[in-house]
Amino acid sequence: MEKVIEIAALTKSFTGTTVLDGIDMFLGKGETLVVIGKSGEGKSVTLKCIIGMTEADSGSIRVFGKEVTSMNEEELLEFRKKVGFLFQGGALYDSMSVMDNMEFPLRKVLKMTDNSEIRQRCQDTLDAVGLGEVSDKRPSSLSGGMRKRMALARTLVVHPQVILYDEPTTGLDTITSGEISELILELQEKYNTSSLIITHDMSCAKITADRIIVLSGGKCSAEGTFDQLKQHDDPGVRAFFKSF
């Protein structure tokens, strides 16, 4: 399997507390990797290290074969055009319409200038997530599930090769959470992306994961499919799957 992300011996501490203690993991091309673990185990920190928002203390992060930890600011900006990051809260601009939110990364990140091309790409992406009729609304007027769809659309509109999801179903009811999880898979196939998902939602993990990694004590303590980990020898690992 071709590896689009490779992490080796990654460490990160904050004020003397070790959060990541030499973790190793990879994401294969076209794969959905889900990372689970208790709060404070470094799941979101791992994502931020991958995207260069948090500087690792040591270790290697290679994305598309290039070392992220040694990139300068200009190289990071170019690299981030290929890697979408779906923030837990969506990071939407409530002062802008849905369409203006969608256009923003195309104009500011990709430096696109053709208004017709920009509008068409935004509309096509909104249609893909089922929000084709809300382009003139403000994000604050949308339901929680619609805001998640919109945040996903804004991430996809720049056509990233990899998407990093930080708790994509947080705050949603069970039905909407399932719909978002299924949508992640549909869009991954449609846009030919690879996905790394951080989640506490084991239903989301079950729906989306090709492979799951459990973070514990700052290390990757277990790895496998949903069914394999459900039968794991370690009761601490099995505890995540006790409802299934």
Whether residue 118 has pLDDT greater than 80: yes
What's the rounded mean pLDDT across residues 15-32?
94
pLDDT in tens, 183-237: 999 999 999 999 999 999 999 999 999 999 999 989 999 999 999 999 998 999 9
DSSP secondary structure code for residue 38 in this structure: -
Q: Give the residue numbers spanning the domain of 230.
A: 3-241
pTM for the whole thing?
A: 0.93
Domain count, the chain: 1
DSSP 8-class letter at 112? -
Confidence of residue 89 (pLDDT cuts 50, 70, 90): low
Q: Are strands 211-216 and 32-36 parallel, antiparallel or unpaired?
A: parallel
pLDDT tops 80 at residue 25: yes
Q: How confident is the model at residue 94 (pLDDT cuts 50, 70, 90)?
A: confident
CATH number, domain with residue 88: 3.40.50.300
Question: How many angstroms from the chain centroid is the CA of residue 208?
Answer: 12
pLDDT of residue 22: 94
Average confidence (pLDDT) over 85-96: 81
From CA 165, how far away is CA 44, in angstroms rounded? 9
Q: Would the pLDDT of 88 be above 80?
A: no
- Amino acid at the residue 90: G
Cα separation of 231 and 237, whole Å? 9
Q: Which residue has the higher pLDDT, 89 or 156?
A: 156
How far apart, in whole angstroms, are the C-alpha atoms of residue 131 and residue 114?
Answer: 23
Looking at every residue in the chain, the average pLDDT score rounds to 92
Please give the residue that has the higher pLDDT: either 58 or 1: 58
pLDDT > 70: percent of the chain = 99
pLDDT for 28: 96
- Residue 90 predicted with pLDDT over 80: no
How far apart, in whole angstroms, are the C-alpha atoms of residue 93 and residue 164? 20
What pLDDT is recorded for position 109? 87
Name the nearest CA neighbour of 29 among 89, 105, 82: 82
Cα 1 from Cα 224, distance rounded (Å): 16
Predicted confidence (pLDDT) per residue in 1-19, tens digit: 899 999 999 999 998 899 9
pLDDT-derived band at 132 (thresholds 50, 70, 90) equals confident
Give pLDDT, residue 91: 77
Residue 23 pLDDT:
95
Structure tokens at 106: 């195309």
At 244, the pLDDT band (50, 70, 90 cuts) reads confident
